[in-house]
Structure formats: structure tokens, C-alpha cells
């Protein structure tokens, strides 16, 4: 993959773990980079992750900086951002 | 290009364009050239739509850069990124939810819908496993920086998008082990030959499929099931009429059956919707609702070139700008012909139209299986009795599948179209009634 000129690094926290990503990375991509296997657990207990990648299916919804139900596929990573997946929402 | 101003809760524009893909950008550009004040909204953080999606390692493509700088130079267009339309209100107003500004209300003289299309995602056993996505979805996720280097990927479904996904996945270092196309070999080959009539498209196709050797390209075939423990590990593919089955090991499955127009906002505005689920427009891209235009994939799927021309025509018609309409009409006709060839070649065959086993989940939001739903007479009854289509996606995924399988007319999602804070919903009432 060709690297673009802007390779500034962004540091965010996903489920309590710090991770560095390239500027322009979506939160959906950062979740994969951070090794998060699923964004939510379905009503019957199945793990789920991004399906449509473009803001339709709502499977990738996470809590970003305290704001619940934010779509990870349509959110860009920002420095200092705190991302929580559904499964960890209740934990400190 | 200016950013939407301060904490202003309401603003007026001559023209509001919803969607900043090829259609919306061209519409905004045409309207801005004619001197109109324009707001260009998109729910994504960056303009470009699906086809010109940017990301790390994916710099803005030349046509996108040209359009953005041309629009920016005019100074009369305001770009609202990360902005969703929560609800259309009366008197030509839209209630918006913007990441930057929170709730806002905009008024317009003319509205141009350039809301694009989404993938038709069809259920199969195991499609809820993490690692299963749409084909265009895979492209979008990779462009957003998702690592796939060294991963084995199976791409399935139908249409030219599978080849585009193949090219993107390969460029990102993935090992695409198979492309599984439901259309029969004869139709795919005939489509390939027809590309000779569009040399630009042929060059694109040749570039994307370079090095096809070592890859299975199976026509008349379907992704039948995904397997794995909490994550995709294998895929079963059914090949042709002989019911031959192949199981491959893979880390990802990217499967999409063409595109369907996004018409939620159009439906809420009362625009007439056609048989193929598209917004019906006239020669000037006018919808059936006074003051509302539509352009691009939401008026019928035909590719970025068609979307661009339609956007241009809509922008000119809405703003009263001057143009060589005959030349634009000819271009539009040419790309519509191309779109019809794609439609014919990749029309969904019986295998893709047949629902999978009853135990397969249809509605992923509420975990409702096909078996629970199929006994009902229509979508409304199925929804009321099973909660199918009543979850977070408002039936946008399962409604599309149910409509294909059972011919059910899915009910239009109702505003608010996306979860919005109560403060945004209150912004609707905060806006004073406009002077008539």
C-alpha cells in the first residue's frame, strides 16, 4: 500500500488500551488494529462487527468520548479519543 | 469552502445538497457556478462518497480534488461533513445532527437528493460472524485503514463491485482466494465483451483484474455458509447447478449482491419511488415533489460517471444555471445504457433469490430468523409479530432481503432516521415558523 505524505500519528484509547494509528484512520479500522474482535453482543448473545462499512447496518456502533451509539465506520480517529465497545460499556 | 458557522441553530441556503459523492459534488459545483448559496451535507467525515473514499494510504483521487477545489474557489458553498438528516420538517426545512455543531435546522429553496446507494446484503448461515462484511464494505474498511495484509479473503455476491473489492484487497496485501459471482459465465463474458464499447471502463477492468492467475473466479456460484468460532474461519461455496460444494479456509468473507438506492429521505418527503426502488425523476432530475431534485445512484444505479452527469444537470436545473443541455443529455443517455448492461449481466438469478435455511438470521438487529418471518403475509405483520426490522438499522438491511425473497414492500423508515439526542429533536421546535 502506498503511504500518503501525511503520516502523523494519533493516539487514542480503545477499551482502556492505548493505541497509535495513522491520521485518517476510521475508528472501525482502529478497532481491528487494536485486536477488538467484536463491537457488540446481539440480543441472542452473538458477537458482531462491522458489516456494511458505510453507516447503514449499525453493527459497529460504539461509545466515543461518552457519546453512545456512534458508528465506528463513519468516525475518524482523533488524538485523545476514548472508544468503548458495547461489551465493555458497563466496566470502569 | 467555509465550515458551517458557529453555534447557529438555523441557516438558509438557496440549495441544500444531501450527499457529497460524485452526484452531490457535481450538483453543488453546478449550483455554485450559477451563484447560488449551497450547503453540501454528508454523513461521512469526508467528501467523496463510496467511490472516492479517502483514508490513510488512499489520498483524495484527482476528480474529487478538482471538484473540491473548484467548489472551494467559489466561496458560496458550505460543507457540512459528519452530518445526518434526522428528519425533514414542513416549509422546506431539514433537521440535522452534525458531529461538529450538534442539532441544526436548515431551510432551502431547492433540495437535491444525492443519497447514493447501499449494498444489497443477503443472509446466509454464519453471516453474522465477525469477519463477514459486504464487498463494498470491505473496500471502505480497507480504505479507512483496516489491516488485511496476509489475510485470506473470499469475495462473493454479484457485479463489478466484486472486482473493485478484489483490486483494493490485493493492493492492501490480502490474499484473495476466490471471487464468487452468482451470474452465469455466459452473461459475465458477454458483459466483458460489451466493455469494448467503453474503452475507459475496459482499461479499468483490465487494471483491476491484472494477475487473475492463482485466483478462483467462479461464476454461477454462491457463498453458501460461513463457519467459525466467534470469527470467520471457513466458507462453503456452492458451484453451479451440479450442487458441487467447496470449502475454503479464510479470515474474511466480503459478500454483496449489487446496490440498492438509498431513498429513506425521499420517501419521507413524499417523492414517488419506482419499481426498482429508485427515486423517479424527469429530464431535469426533478422528483415528483416541488422543489426537490435527485441525482446519482439514488435515482437508479449506474456508476460514478452517470451520477456525475445527473448531479450536474440537477444542480443546473435547481439553480437556473446555463449549460449545453444537449451534450449533458447525451452523456447521461450513454452512461444509462452502460448501467443497463451491468443490470442485465448481473441480474440476480434464482439461487440468489432463494432464501437460505429457516434457521438463518434475517434481522441482525433483533436476531429474528427467516423461519420466524416467512409465515407472515407481509412485512408489516412480520414486524409486528417478530420485531423483525424494528431494530437500530430500521430494516434497511433485512427489509431489502425480505423484499427480494418474499416480494414484500418494506415500510419506509420513520424519522428520526438515526438516533439523535433530545437536544437536536428540540431544535426542530426552537426554529421559528418561517414567514410565508
The domain that holds B286 is classified in CATH as: 3.50.50.60
Environment class of B368 (CB within 10 Å of its CB; exposed 0-12, middle 13-18, buried 19+):
buried
Residue A23: inside a domain, yes or no? yes
Put simply, the answer to whether B56 touches A33 (Cβ < 8 Å) is no
Full residue range of the structural domain in which residue B180 is found: 121-257
**DSSP-derived secondary structure for B229-279:** SSS--EEEEEETTTTEEEEEE-SEEEEEE-EEE--HHHHHHT--B-TTSPB
Query: What sign results for the dihedral spanned by CA atoms B287, B293, B298, B304?
Result: positive
Between B58, B130, B139, which is nearest A48 by CB? B130
- Please answer yes or no on whether B119 and A52 come within 8 Å at the CB atom: yes
- The answer to whether B262 touches B286, Cβ cutoff 8 Å, is no
In a domain, B365, yes or no: yes
Confidence of residue A87 (pLDDT cuts 50, 70, 90): low
Residue B121, all three cell numbers: 446484503
* pLDDT, tens only, B198-238: 778 777 777 766 656 678 899 999 999 999 999 999 999 99
Assess contact for B379 and B389: CB atoms under 8 A.
yes
- Given B223, B257, B291, the domain boundary residue is B257
DSSP assigned state of A55: S
In this model, does residue B428 exceed pLDDT 80? Answer: no
In chain A, residues 5-44 whose CB comes closer than 8 Å to chain B: 5, 7, 21-26, 28-30, 32-33, 37-38, 42-44
Q: A14: helix, coil or strand?
A: strand
Average pLDDT over residues B175-191: 93
Residues B33 and B59 in one domain: yes
Q: Let me know if residue B414 belongs to a domain.
A: no
What pLDDT score was predicted for residue B195? 81
pLDDT in tens, B3-39: 444 444 679 999 999 999 999 999 999 999 999 999 9
Q: Which of residues 24-43 of B touch A (CB under 8 A)?
A: 43
**Same domain assignment for residues B181 and B145:** yes
Residue B136 lies in a domain: yes
Nearest one of B379, B349, B342 to B363, comparing CA atoms: B379
Predicted confidence at residue B423, as pLDDT, reads 79
Give yes or no: residues B160 and B251 share one domain. yes
Q: What is the CATH number of the domain that holds A72?
A: 3.10.20.740
Is B137 within 8 Å of A61 when comparing Cβ atoms? no
Do residues B39 and B10 both lie within one domain? Answer: yes
Q: A85 phi and psi, to 5 degrees?
A: -80, 160
> Does the pLDDT value for residue B436 go beyond 80?
no
According to DSSP H, which parts of A1-92 are helical? 27-33
User: What does the DSSP 8-state code read for residue B341?
Assistant: H
Examine the fold and report which residue of B291, B312, B343 is the final residue of a domain before the chain moves on.
B343
Q: Are residues B112 and B129 in the same domain?
A: no
Mean pLDDT to the nearest integer, B73-80: 96
Percent of chain B, pLDDT > 70? Answer: 93
Cα-based distances in Å from B349 to A62, B65, B207, B260, B358: 37, 39, 28, 16, 20
Q: Is A84 helix (H, G, I), strand (E, B) or coil?
A: strand
Q: Which domain holds residue A25?
A: 9-84
Q: What confidence tens digit (pLDDT) does each residue in B314-333 have?
A: 999 999 988 889 999 999 99
Any domain includes A64: yes
Chosen for mutation from B97, B130, B142 (greatest number of chain A CBs closer than 10 Å) is: B130
Total domain count, chain B? 3
Same domain assignment for residues B146 and B106: no
Taking the C-alpha atoms of residue B28 and residue B251, their distance in angstroms, rounded to an integer, is 41
Query: Chain-wide mean pLDDT for chain A?
Result: 89
Count of domains forming chain A: 1
In a domain, A22, yes or no: yes
Same domain, B284 and B235: no
pLDDT one-digit tens code per residue, B98-115: 988 889 999 999 999 999
Same domain, B218 and B328: no
B56–A48: do the CB atoms touch at under 8 Å? no
* In a domain? residue B10: yes
State residue B215's pLDDT score: 84
**How much is the pLDDT for B4?**
43
* Same-domain status, B325 and B359: no
Domain identity same for B278 and B248:
no
Answer yes or no: do B126 and B253 share one domain: yes
Closest CA relative to residue B340, chosen from B290, B374, B298, B306: B306
> Per-residue pLDDT for A2 more than 60?
no
Which helix (H) or strand (E) element contains residue B33?
helix B22-33
Residues of A in contact with B45 (CB under 8 A): 74-76
**What are the DSSP calls for B366-399, one per residue?**
TTEEHHHHTTSSSHHHHHHHH-TT-STTTTTTHH
| Per-residue pLDDT tens digits for B160-170 | 999 999 999 99
Burial (0-12, 13-18, 19+ Cβ within 10 Å), B3: exposed
Of the residues B317, B343, B369, which one is the last residue of a structural domain?
B343
Amino acid at each position: 500500500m502506498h503511504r500518503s505524505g501525511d503520516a502523523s500519528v494519533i493516539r487514542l484509547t480503545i477499551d482502556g488500551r492505548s493505541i497509535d494509528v495513522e491520521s485518517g484512520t476510521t475508528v472501525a479500522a482502529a478497532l481491528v488494529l487494536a485486536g477488538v474482535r467484536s463491537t457488540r453482543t446481539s440480543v441472542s448473545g452473538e458477537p458482531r462487527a462491522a458489516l456494511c462499512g458505510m453507516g447503514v447496518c449499525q453493527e459497529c456502533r460504539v461509545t466515543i468520548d461518552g457519546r453512545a451509539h456512534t458508528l465506528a465506520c463513519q468516525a475518524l480517529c482523533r488524538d485523545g479519543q476514548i472508544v468503548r465497545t458495547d461489551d465493555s460499556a458497563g466496566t470502569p | 469552502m467555509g465550515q458551517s458557522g458557529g453555534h447557529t441553530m438555523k441557516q438558509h441556503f438557496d440549495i441544500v445538497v444531501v450527499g457529497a459523492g460524485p452526484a452531490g459534488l457535481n450538483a453543488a459545483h453546478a449550483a455554485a457556478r450559477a451563484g447560488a448559496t449551497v450547503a453540501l451535507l454528508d454523513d461521512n467525515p469526508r467528501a467523496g462518497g463510496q467511490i472516492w473514499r479517502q483514508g490513510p494510504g488512499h489520498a483524495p483521487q484527482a476528480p474529487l480534488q478538482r471538484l473540491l477545489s473548484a467548489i472551494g474557489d467559489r466561496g458560496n458553498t458550505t460543507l457540512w461533513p459528519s452530518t445526518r438528516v434526522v428528519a425533514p420538517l414542513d416549509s422546506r426545512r431539514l433537521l440535522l445532527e452534525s458531529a461538529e455543531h450538534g442539532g441544526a435546522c436548515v431551510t432551502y429553496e431547492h433540495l437535491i437528493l444525492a443519497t447514493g446507494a447501499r449494498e444489497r446484503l443477503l443472509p446466509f448461515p454464519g453471516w453474522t460472524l465477525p469477519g463477514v462484511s459486504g464487498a463494498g464494505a470491505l473496500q471502505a474498511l480497507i480504505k479507512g485503514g483496516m489491516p488485511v495484509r496476509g489475510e485470506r479473503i473470499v469475495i462473493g455476491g454479484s457485479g463489478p463491485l466484486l472486482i473493485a473489492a478484489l483490486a483494493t484487497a490485493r493492493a492492501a496485501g490480502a490474499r484473495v482466494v476466490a471471487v464468487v459471482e452468482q451470474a452465469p459465465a455466459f452473461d459475465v463474458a458477454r458483459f466483458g465483451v460489451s466493455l469494448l464499447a467503453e474503452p475507459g471502463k475496459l482499461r479499468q477492468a483490465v487494471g483491476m483484474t491484472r494477475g487473475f492467475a492463482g485466483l478462483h473466479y467462479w461464476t454461477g456460484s454462491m457463498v453458501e455458509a460461513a463457519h467459525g468460532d466467534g470469527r470467520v474461519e471457513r466458507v462453503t461455496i456452492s458451484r453451479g447447478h451440479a450442487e458441487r460444494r467447496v470449502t475454503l479456509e479464510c479470515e474474511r468473507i466480503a459478500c454483496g449482491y449489487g446496490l440498492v438506492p438509498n431513498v429513506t429521505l425521499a420517501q419521507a418527503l413524499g417523492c414517488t419511488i419506482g419499481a426498482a426502488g429508485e427515486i423517479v425523476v424527469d429530464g431535469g432530475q426533478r422528483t415528483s415533489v416541488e422543489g426537490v431534485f435527485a441525482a446519482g445512484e439514488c435515482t437508479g444505479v449506474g456508476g460514478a460517471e452517470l451520477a456525475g452527469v445527473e448531479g450536474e444537470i440537477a444542480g443546473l436545473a435547481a439553480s437556473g444555471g446555463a449549460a449545453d443541455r444537449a451534450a449533458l443529455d447525451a452523456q447521461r443517455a450513454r452512461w444509462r445504457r452502460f448501467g443497463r448492461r451491468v443490470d442485465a449481466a448481473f441480474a440476480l438469478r434464482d439461487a440468489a433469490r432463494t432464501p437460505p435455511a429457516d434457521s438463518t438470521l434475517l434481522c441482525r438487529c433483533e436476531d429474528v430468523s427467516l423461519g420466524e418471518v416467512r409465515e407472515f403475509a407481509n412485512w408489516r405483520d412480520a414486524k409486528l409479530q417478530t420485531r423483525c426490522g424494528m431494530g437500530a438499522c430500521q430494516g434497511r438491511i433485512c427489509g431489502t432481503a425480505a423484499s427480494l425473497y418474499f416480494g414484500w414492500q418494506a415500510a419506509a423508515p420513520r424519522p428520526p432516521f438515526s438516533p439523535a439526542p433530545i437536544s437536536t429533536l428540540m431544535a426542530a421546535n426552537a426554529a421559528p415558523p418561517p414567514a410565508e
